[in-house]
């Protein structure tokens, strides 16, 4: 039997008492390791995190906790090669795609280390200016934010086992809140290895970082009122979490990132082959193929003027045709695998569902797999669909196929385009492409209410923009409506989720003594 990865809870490594769930290589089909959480003392482990990890973190200033993040980053950097090997084996990603996850995690930790250092030796945050509650200002109100005296439970998705942990853990630890992570089972190995390396290095206080691999049964039952819960995954699971007593009755604060049918929009007035036209084509292809389209922020719908539908279809298809798909160990391969047979089946099923209202412009089935057995490997070529009936193709606007699939949609005019984008009912990101700054600015503000991020690309930004699907720690990550209504990152804004706001009403001398 393959190795059973231990959990870290209550300040010690603990193996589950069950046989464990196997994790597989999605290209070769080999069993890699097993995970199991059977028999864990979740209430006791959570209590240890709150009482030991939380208390230790709160004795430190923001600058001291920022130094911890810097130390964590150094540990991860030292083991970077091992993480790449695990990502290849367990996620089936090519080197560049593994880097998005692994190096993105290290970069995010470094960013929050710098942000935290700038906060200095304070142990709480002022929230605005004081306000007078008496005519002579002898009695005032000052809002403050202090770390919550609970823990942060992360239930994470399979597509970013490295970044998904640290983009949440960095602001939580900086805020002074201990972390318990439950990674998605299919790709839990990388998350577990990172936690193990950090815990074994001794750079964090005992109880500050815990991990539970395998079943999530009982996790929410162990949550208390001052804990916080962050979830990334399906809308169906998110709805179940919101109904749980921990949230509905004990008022555990919850942050949700769910389904997102993100859009790319080429504005009117662009000619075939123009700079903006080519920028759209390049970004669509990149977002379809990076991590095999398994990104919450990937482009799912591409809106173009009716007159350009054929030219965009041809240009995108031509680029997709050059994408080699298969075993990420082969240097000629540019797109690896989906993470599991279950995801492969889900993508195929979703593709057929969309085809009922869309034509196939580029067929992923035409891609022969490189160094991979089609009967075993969880690989699928990129597929571009087209929906001539933009208004009637309701499945395109309501269904996220979590793989290398996007749909091209023509629009009549600017108002029609914006209305179609909003049919996504709230998304993580929309990207705009054009050359008229005023037109781009107007469209960006029009879409800001229904998107967590609006990524605007014109020729001036062509060489420097961060990418439609790249989540930068300085910018907000999250989205309203269907996307879950959550907010992560955004620089120091991320600390808000892990703090409690209170108004301290007192005489000026008392407020001054706060520090």
Are residues 83 and 190 in contact, defined by beta-carbon separation less than 8 angstroms? yes
Round to whole Å and give the CA distance between 446 and 65: 39
Handedness of CA 284, 321, 289, 73 (dihedral sign): negative
Angle at 43 between CA 41 and CA 44, to 5 degrees: 65
**What is the Cβ-side half-sphere exposure of residue 426, based on CA atoms within 13 angstroms?**
16
- Is 76 strand, coil or helix? helix
Active site residue 296: yes
Contact indicator for 354, 405 with CB cutoff of 8 Å:
yes
Q: Active-site residue 446, yes or no?
A: no
Beta pairing, strands 299-305 & 262-266: parallel
Element (H, E) at 168: helix 163-175
**Pairwise CA distance, residues 267 & 133, whole Å:** 51
Listed in sequence order, the residues at least 6 apart from 460 whose beta carbon sits closer than 8 Å to its beta carbon are none
Cβ partners under 8 Å of residue 422, min gap 6:
447, 450
Candidate list 213, 296, 378, 379, residue with the active-site label: 296
Indicate which residue of 257, 268, 270, 400 is catalytic.
257
Half-sphere exposure for 199 (CA within 13 Å, toward CB):
24
- Point out the residues that are catalytic: 257, 296
């Amino acid at each position: 039997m393959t190795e059973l990865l231990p959990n870290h809870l209550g300040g010690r490594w603990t193996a589950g008492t069950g046989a464990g769930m196997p994790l597989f290589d999605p290209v070769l089909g080999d069993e890699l390791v097993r995970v199991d959480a059977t028999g864990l003392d979740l209430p006791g482990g959570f209590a240890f995190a709150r009482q030991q990890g939380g208390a230790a973190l709160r004795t430190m200033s923001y600058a001291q906790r920022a130094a911890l993040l810097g130390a964590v980053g150094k540990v991860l950097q030292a083991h970077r090669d091992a993480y790449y090997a695990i990502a290849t084996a367990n996620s089936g990603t090519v080197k560049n795609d593994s880097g998005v996850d692994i190096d993105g995690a290290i970069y995010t930790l470094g960013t929050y280390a710098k942000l935290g250092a700038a906060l200095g030796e304070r142990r709480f945050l002022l929230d605005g200016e004081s306000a007078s509650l008496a005519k002579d200002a002898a009695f005032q109100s000052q809002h403050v934010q202090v770390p919550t005296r609970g823990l942060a439970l992360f239930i994470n998705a399979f597509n970013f086992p490295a970044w998904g942990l640290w983009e949440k853990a960095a602001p939580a630890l900086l805020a002074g809140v201990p972390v318990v992570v439950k990674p998605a089972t299919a790709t839990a190995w990388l998350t577990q290895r990172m936690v193990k390396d950090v815990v074994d290095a001794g750079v964090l206080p005992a109880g500050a970082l815990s991990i539970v691999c395998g079943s999530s049964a009982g996790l929410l039952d162990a949550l208390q009122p001052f804990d916080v819960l962050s979830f990334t995954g399906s809308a169906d699971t998110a709805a179940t979490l919101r109904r749980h007593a921990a949230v509905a009755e004990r008022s555990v604060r919850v942050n949700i990132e769910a389904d997102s049918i993100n859009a790319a929009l080429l504005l009117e007035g662009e000619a075939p082959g123009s700079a903006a036209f080519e920028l759209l084509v390049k970004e669509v292809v990149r977002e379809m193929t990076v991590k095999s389209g398994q990104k919450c922020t990937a482009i799912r719908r591409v809106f173009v003027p009716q007159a350009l539908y054929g030219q965009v279809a041809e240009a995108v298809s031509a680029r997709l045709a050059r994408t080699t798909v298969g075993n990420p160990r082969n240097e000629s391969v540019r797109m690896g695998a989906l993470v599991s047979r279950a995801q492969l089946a889900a993508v195929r099923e979703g593709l057929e569902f969309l085809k009922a209202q869309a034509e196939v412009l580029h067929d992923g089935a035409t891609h022969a797999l490189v160094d991979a057995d089609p009967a075993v490997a969880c690989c699928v070529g990129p597929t571009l669909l087209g929906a001539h009936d933009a208004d009637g193709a309701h499945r395109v606007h309501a269904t996220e196929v979590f793989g290398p699939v996007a749909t091209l949609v023509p629009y009549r005019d600017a108002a029609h385009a914006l209305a179609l984008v909003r049919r996504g009912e709230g998304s993580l990101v929309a990207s705009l492409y054009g050359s008229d700054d005023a037109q781009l600015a107007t469209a960006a503000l029009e879409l800001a209410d229904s998107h967590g991020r609006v990524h605007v690309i014109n020729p001036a930004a062509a060489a420097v923009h961060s990418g439609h699907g790249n989540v930068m720690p300085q910018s907000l990550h999250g989205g309203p409506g269907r996307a879950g209504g959550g907010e992560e990152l955004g620089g120091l804004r991320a600390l808000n989720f892990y703090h409690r706001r209170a108004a301290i009403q007192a005489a000026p001398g008392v407020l001054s003594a706060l520090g």
